[in-house]
Each structure stands twice: as structure tokens, then as C-alpha cells.
Amino acid sequence: AMSRQQERRRYQISRARSFLERRLNDIRQKLDLSPTATPLTGEAAYEETEIGRAPGQLPAASPFESNSPTKFRVLTYDENQCKAEEFSDLDSIGRYAGRPGIVWIQVLGITDPQVVHIVGAFFDIPMLAQEDILTATSRPKFEEYGDKILTIARAVRIGVEENTPRGQQISIAAGSNWVISFHENDEKVFEAVEKRLQDNRGNCRRWGAGYLVYSLLDTLVDRLLYQTEEIEDATTELEDSILLGTDNWDLNEVYRLKRVVVRLSRLAQPLKDMVSVLEHYEHPLLPSSLDLYLRDLYDHAIRATDRIEHARMILQDLQEYHHTQQERKTSEIIRVLTVMSSVFIPLTFLVGLWGMNFQFMPEIHTEWGHKYGYYTAVGVMILLGTGIVLWMKKKRWW
């Protein structure tokens, strides 16, 4: 049953790919675009197209894993109205280029690099920016391309029970009156921003594309802030349980959280640096009226990195505390064994001395030794052992 499902799935993917390629070729001919990337045959891996690729040349395979075909969700709005549409027809994107008002296009699921190329051609997005959009390992960053800007960040999704930060790369390109966000999949990351636009709450409709870019970045930073708060709470709870005297705690939990914190730090620090650049950058899309909002966004990014650093320090302290506890237990065991050895070494010497089978041992052949030798030997050993223990107690060695 599983093999039939896999075959059916492969057949559906093959049909969808061939249909998409035909549509892309039709659109290229309409726009007179050169095929900068040729789709690979079969299911070639993204890595196969990376070696030797020239700067600005798009990969032939998508670096992102998406289980559904590309969809487009478009919001067009001004101060008086907001209209939302959703479709999968790629050539319909062209009618939004140069449209009055503000246009926000969400490209949900990048199944083919040519989707980015054609959308970029409609809105004159530079090839280097398109290449960055199609790089799955891009660090959060900000780039200026004349009158356009590009920001790349990640929508983090992680729970305290997971081992690695999960999420998707979000690339946001913006021009004078349009914003395009490229998503790895169709997760509704910006649902709250859409609702604010449709309900006409806040400044979204009254301000330009720059404020929309800020709103999208604010959503991503808030997601990161929420997740770092969860991790910080988890590490604090673990610390409290250990300090309250829980001996049977698992060091693997510390290492698991530490891996999560390290990976979150690799996302949060570049994001904070990017927001810092935005805060001080001069660009028509980033007017001075946004300075206060960008400053608040930078404050949130700092709080996220501070929480990660706090969690990292707690986990480092717990790791050192665990090693200290293990050393203390080992030292206690060695101390007990040393005391036992110190007590029994002289007793073993006496037993060995008196246990030698020599024929002439003067104390054995006397009348006193013959009658009371055993009791005397036991008494001497008890007194000697007790004396050694009391002496160690006095020296505070035990």
C-alpha cells in the first residue's frame, strides 16, 4: 500500500512539474525572458546545481522543500479599502505591477526557481537579489538595490520538546508601492498583519510600503522573542528543580536545550544586526517617521538575544554544576574508601603477623597467651581501628 501511494505521489509531482514548466515557458515567451536557469530532469538535488554557478545565476532546482504547488496571496489596499485575492496562476502577477495603492504579494511555496525569476522580472528585482532569495542558507540580512530593498529573515517555530529550531526563510523585497514576501511553504506567518490591514487597525493602510516591511519584520522578531522566552523559561525551571535538591536529573536535557540555544543564537544575532542597520539606514522606503518603530523593533531583537544569552549562561552553569557534583560524589567515595583502607591496613598487618605459622612465637606459648591471646588480638584491633577513626575525625578528614 505504501509503495502504491509513493508511486501515485511521484506521478502527481511529475504531472505538476511538467504543467508548471509549460506555463513558465509560455510566460517567458510573453515577457521575452532569457532562460537563466534550465530545470533539471528528474528529481535532481539542489546541491548538484551549486558548484561553479556564476554570481547572479539562479539555481536550476529549488532549495526549499514544499509539499504543495506555489500559490500567490495578494492584498491591494489604500486608506479607504483593502482587497485580498489568492490564486496559483503565475501570469496573473503581472497585472499588479504599476498598480496604484500598495500591493503586497505573498509567494507561498517556491517549487521552481523560475517562479522567483518571473516575479522578479515583473517588479524589476535584481538578479543578485533573486539569487539571495533562492539561497536557503542565507543569514538574516538587509540589502539596498537602488530604490528597492531586500530583507531576509527566518520565521522560527520551536517548542521546548523539540531538538532543533524549525521554521522557514522569509525574503521580503520592497519597492515604492509594493512588497513581495517569498515563503518556503504556505504556513500563515503574517495572518495577524493581514487582519490588521483588513480591519484598518493601526497605521498599516495610512503609511507606505516601508511600514508594511516593518510590520512583517516585527512579526518575525516577535515570533523569535516568544520562542526565546519559552526556552528561557524551560532552562529556569530546570535550574530551579536542580537547586531544590533533585539528584536524578538528566544531563542530556541540558545538552538538548544547549543545542537549541546555540542554533537560536545563530538566528537571533544576525537578525539583531540587520535590524540595527535598518534603524540607522537612510532610504526613501525608511523615512524618519519609522525611526521610532525601528528603534522599538531593535529593542525587541536585543531582548531576544539577551534571553538566549541568559539561557546559555544558565545551561553552562548547570553543566559545570553537574560536573562539580560528580566530582564531589567521586571525592566522597574515595574518602570513604581511604578511611576503610587506613583502618584495615594496620589490622591486616597484625593479622598477617600473628597468623604466621612459625613454631616458636614466645607470646603464643605462654599461659596467658595460650588462654587470652585471641581476645587480646581482637581487642587490640578494635582499639587500633577506633583510634584511627577518632584521629581522622579530630583532623576533620572524615
pLDDT score for 156 = 80
Residue 118 burial by CB count (10 A; 0-12/13-18/19+): exposed, middle or buried? buried
- Position 368: which residue type? W
pLDDT score for 37 = 45
With cell 505591477, the residue in question is: 97
Domain containing 156: what range? 2-321
**Do 123 and 178 meet the contact criterion of CB atoms below 8 Å apart?**
yes
End position of a domain, from candidates 295, 321, 347? 321
133 and 258: one domain?
A: yes
CA–CA separation, 130 and 120 (whole Å): 7
DSSP 160: T
254 and 336: one domain?
A: no
214 and 257: one domain?
A: yes
Ranges of the chain with pLDDT below 50: 1-2, 34-48, 160
Question: What is the value of pTM for the model shown?
Answer: 0.71
DSSP 51: T
114 and 36: one domain?
A: yes
**DSSP letters spanning 221-267:** HHHHHHHHHHHHHHHHHHHHHHHTT--S--HHHHHHHHHHHHHHHHH
End position of a domain, from candidates 267, 296, 321? 321
The helix (H) or strand (E) run that includes residue 75 is strand 71-77
Q: pLDDT, tens digit, for every residue of 335-387?
A: 888 888 888 888 888 888 777 776 677 766 676 666 777 788 888 888 888 88
Q: What are the beta bridge partners of residue 183?
A: 108, 170
pLDDT score for 299 = 92
pLDDT score for 215 = 92
116 and 148: one domain?
A: yes
226 and 362: one domain?
A: no
335 and 274: one domain?
A: no
Total domains, the chain: 2
356 and 232: one domain?
A: no
251 and 378: one domain?
A: no
Closest CA to 145 of 182, 105, 175: 175
pLDDT score for 39 = 42
| CATH code, domain with 350 | 1.20.58.340
Closest CA to 256 of 307, 315, 304, 305: 315
Query: Strand 71-77's sheet: what is its strand order?
Result: 82-87, 71-77, 102-108, 178-183, 166-174, 148-157, 141-145
End position of a domain, from candidates 296, 321, 346? 321
The helix (H) or strand (E) run that includes residue 84 is strand 82-87
361 and 227: one domain?
A: no
342 and 265: one domain?
A: no
231 and 295: one domain?
A: yes
Q: pLDDT, tens digit, for every residue of 244-272?
A: 766 666 778 888 888 888 888 888 888 88
| CATH code, domain with 35 | 3.30.460.20
With cell 504543495, the residue in question is: 68
